[in-house]
Structure 1
Amino acid sequence: MALTAAQVLQAKPTEKTQKLFDGGGMFLEVTPSGGKRWRLKYRFGGKENLLSLGIYPKTSLKAARQHGVEAHKLLEKGIDPSQARKAEKISIKVAAANTFEHLALEWHTAKKSGWSTSHTDTCLARMKRDLFPWLGARPLTDLKPPEIMVVLKKVEGRGSIETAHRCKGIVSQVFDFAIATGRADTNPAQALGAALKSKVGGKHPAIVEPGRFGQMLRDIDGYAGSPITVAALKIHALTFQRPGEISGMTWSELDLDGGWWVIPSERMKRIKKLKINGAPHYVPLSRQAIAVLKELQPITGDHDFVFPGERKGRCISENTARSALRALGYTDHTPHGFRATARTMAREQLRIDKEVIERAIAHGSTEALGGAYDRTQYLADRIELMQSWANYLDVLRKPA
């Protein structure tokens, strides 16, 4: 006789496990501890087997019967329901291991040993911010070009065209990794770059006209923002090092009495091998640069960073100087642009030898094989360059 819901609810445990049959091989198993589970007894290939149909009360009598019906349908097709369930669990496990996020993190782990720390962190941050929220849980092989493009367009839509292309590159490399490890056959992201807006050319916007650059220097002097930001902008102009190197400057890297800023190799823009084994970059400090730093020292001297950010233990963002320039109305000049300005005007206006300037901005030799054989640093010439450049900025700073 079939069970009723009341009988299932009222079934009490005894000293031995009870089996309350419902029909069709299905029964409720009541253990001495009071546990209740649904089971199905069936024969397949001449052998008797048991299939679990769920735990009561999470699985009701009605639900257990439905599971039993589904198992009998498989038996009618010559399929063992126990084996079918095992195959389904394996399939689910494989699918979970082949989601975009899982494979992307696996790819990231495999590649990061050859990357710098900053690139490793930036790549992971891009995936977490711009890709995982929409693509992370999707099985990689289910992703098609239109779905990927929708996500890339979200990034592009906020004006981050370069980042959209970077994200496209990440997705494409994850697919290449999946293909190489036998978990995908095609790369649907490969050609998506053609549908994205074109990236801005490699040159960073920079003002190279002396009169207008002088006006910007005066505007920086009068900027009503944080004195830390003002000092950072002045150091950008005076030293023309990379934005990340300036924002991450520490007091321990400075010798203000000797007039040097020594940037550790690991903070330079270099391949990982050179970051570990390369020499530090020496930046001579002009009298004007030293004055800016000494004026800032009473404000931030008790911090590790010369330009500390609002968050404890962190330096200012590289975007801090960019935002300040925009606030001053200079959308055609970026923090990185100070390098181009110095490279152009020191050559055209001060007639400084280009090799000296290249070493000052931490570029290698421009000669063939120079990077391998030319170790000249032009330190004496660079000391003269930095002071001549600072003096020239003082001239430009004066109203015409």
Structure 2
Amino acid sequence: MALTDIKCKSASPRDKPYRLSDGKGMYLEVRPNGSKYWRYKYRFVGKEKLLALGVYPETSLAEAREKLLRARKLLEGGVDPSQERKKKKALAKESAENTFEVIAWEWYANRKSRWRERYAEEIITRLEKDIFPEIGNIPIVEIEPPLLLHVIRKIENRGAYELAKRQLQKCGEIFRYAIATGKALRDPSQDIKEALMPVRKEHFAAIDIKELPEFIAALERNDARLYQSTRNALKLIMLTFVRTSELINATWEEIDFDNKEWVIPAERMKMGKVHIVPLSCQAIEVLENQKILAGQWPLVFPSSVKPRNSISNNTILGALKRLGYQGRMTGHGFRALAMSAIKQELGYRHEVVDRQLAHVPKNKIDKAYDRALFLKERKIMMQEWADYLENLK
């Protein structure tokens, strides 16, 4: 006879456990201490088994019957309800342990060997700053598009639109890694791309060729009272038009005074390739002057406060500001300036200047001829460029 709520509620404890049957294998077990448990007795592959359906009254009679119905449907489909429950518990535990931060570190360890050390450090530092505090402890399978968008929006609210875009890309890589390793089912980053603020690519500020004479004159007069080391840094970046990061982290070991070459190792280059910078007589003179000032340190341009560290990008920007070129010139601007001036004023082919800028060819045909480094031509070009700048004085 089927049970009722009144029968379940009024069932009193006895000296020994006893059962109140509801039919179809389900019953309410009443213990001597008054506890009441829903149970389902069934057979699977010829063996008798027992499945717990909950505790009364937390699990009502109606709820116990719903659980019974789901269990019987599993049996009809050839699935053992007990094993299915164990499987779900294991998956739930695994899901709780596989938080976004756990998976992110696993992804990072998998990818790290492919990246340059500085780039790898930059990636994990940004994740630790912007992403982990927000969603690091949340199971990765529970992160939905609105939550991820909220995290990225906080970066945008700082005005860091390009960084927000890059952080979303890295999150997408982590989600896709989780999918590949069976720890996630979808990548929510794909759903919020269109919700991001559009990023306008802006060129680095650079003065025009006709403004070069006045800039050189201002640097020579030094009304801004820049340190000699800072002036040397500006002169060298103008003569060699390397990236600012390549300049400020230069070491004396990289400078070959005899062969008049600056050999920048692959790990310091953006494209991960060794880069040779031919040094003009004027560049050698600047370096010899700097050697007197900082030759006792490994770095060519050490910090005046902590000489074991290099000067910063802000040192270059600050010097340009004091010279009166804030917003008009940047360290990177010397690259654009050199590209234009050398092609326009000295008549060199684009590909020669491009190799000196350490750019990677964009199309397959150019890449096939990437071995043509034009080194001899570049040596002549760099000396002509230095002479051109000197004549502007």
Normalising by structure 2, what TM-score? 0.71
Superposed CA deviations along residues 336-376 of structure 1, whole A, max 9, x for unmatched, are 22111111111011112323212222235688634324523
1:249 Cα deviation from its structure 2 partner: 0.8
Partner of 2:210: 211
Q: Give the partner amino acid of 2:374.
A: Y
How many residue pairs end up in the alignment? 329
One-letter amino acid of the structure 2 residue matched with residue 103 of structure 1 = I
SS in 1 for 2:101: helix
The aligned runs of 1:379-398 (5 Å cut-off) are 379-396=375-392, 398=393
1 CA distance for matches of 2:309 and 2:57? 63
Report the alpha carbon displacement of residue 137 of structure 1 after superposing the two structures with TM: 1.6
| Structure 1 equivalent of residue 15 of structure 2 | none
Mapped contact 1:261–1:284 kept (Cα < 8 A):
yes
Label 1:74 to 1:174 Cα distance change in 2 as closer, same or farther (>3 A). Answer: same
- The 8 Å contact of residues 240 and 342 in structure 1, kept in 2 or not, is answered as yes
Structure 2 unmatched ranges of 5 or more: 1-30, 42-53, 68-82
Equivalences for residues 169-180 of structure 1 within 5 A: 169-180=169-180
8 Å Cα contact 1:325-1:331 kept in structure 2: no
Percent of aligned pairs with the same amino acid: 35
1:162 Cα deviation (Å)? 1.5
Kept in 2, the 8 Å contact 1:97–1:103? The answer is no
Q: What is the deviation of 1:132?
A: 1.3
The answer to which of 87-96 and 169-178 deviates more is 87-96
CA contact (8 A) 1:231 1:292 kept: yes
Does the C-alpha gap of structure 1 residues 134 and 299 become closer, same or farther in structure 2, counting only changes over 3 Å? farther
- After superposition, where does 1:251-400 map in structure 2 within 5 Å? 251-271=252-272, 275=273, 280-309=274-303, 310-311=305-306, 313-326=308-321, 328-363=324-359, 369-373=365-369, 375-396=371-392, 398=393
User: For the residues of structure 1 that align with 2:193 and 2:319, how far apart are their CA atoms?
Assistant: 32
- Aligned partners of 2:128 and 2:316: how far apart in 1? 25
Following superposition, the deviation at residue 312 of structure 1 comes to 6.1
Partner of 2:137: 137
Match runs of 1:91-110 below 5 Å: 93-110=93-110
Once residues 363 and 138 of structure 1 are traced to their aligned partners in structure 2, the CA distance between those partners, rounded to angstroms, is 41
Name the SS for the 1:351 alignment partner. Answer: coil
3-state SS in 2 of match to 1:391 = helix
Matched, 1:239 2:234: no
TM-score by length of 1: 0.70
Unaligned runs of 5+ residues in structure 1 are 1-22, 27-39, 47-69
SS of residue paired to 1:262: strand
Give runs of aligned pairs for residues 43-62 of structure 1, distance below 5 A: none
* In structure 1, C-alpha distance between the alignment counterparts of 2:319 and 2:95, rounded to whole Å: 48
**C-alpha distance in 1 between matches for 2:217 and 2:385:** 16
Q: Which residue of 2 aligns with 1:8?
A: none
CA-atom RMSD in angstroms? 3.6
Query: Per the alignment, do residues 129 and 312 of structure 1 end up closer, same or farther by CA in structure 2, a change over 3 Å counting?
Result: farther
Return the offset for 1:335: 1.8
Matches within 5 A, 1:7-156: 93-156=93-156
Shift of 1:134: 1.7
> d(CA) in 1 for partners of 2:311 and 2:93?
43
**Residue type of the partner of 2:343?**
R
Deviates further, 230-239 or 165-174: 230-239
